[in-house]
Amino acid sequence: QNFIDMLARVPVRFRKGLAWYINQELETQLPGLYLATGANSGQLVYMPPGGISGAQYGNILGAPVIPIEQASAPGAVGDVTLAALSQYKL
């Protein structure tokens, strides 16, 4: 639910360039992500890399998941960040 809530807070005009930046230690937990749709059913939220899509990165809710070393430790604020880096100026 946190992933859905994060995505809902992003203005629609920025959603095309979004990516999830995660602590690399969280990669092992991603295949188990699902959204409950009933008492005994659910919908997967994470699509792993490769497979039919041939994508380099997995994705969550249509945005690529990029593991980075700079993210906070698992369970801490900043372990998962949703950002459109194209919207930043250096």
| Model pLDDT for residues 21-75, shown as the tens digit of each residue | 999 999 999 988 888 887 778 888 898 898 777 889 999 988 999 999 999 999 9
Record the pTM.
0.84
- Dihedral of the alpha carbons of 60, 63, 64, 67, in degrees to the nearest 10: -70
**What DSSP element (H or E) covers 54?**
none
pLDDT for residue 82: 96
Residues 6+ apart with CB under 8 A from 83: 18, 19, 21
pLDDT for residue 87: 82
pLDDT for residue 54: 80
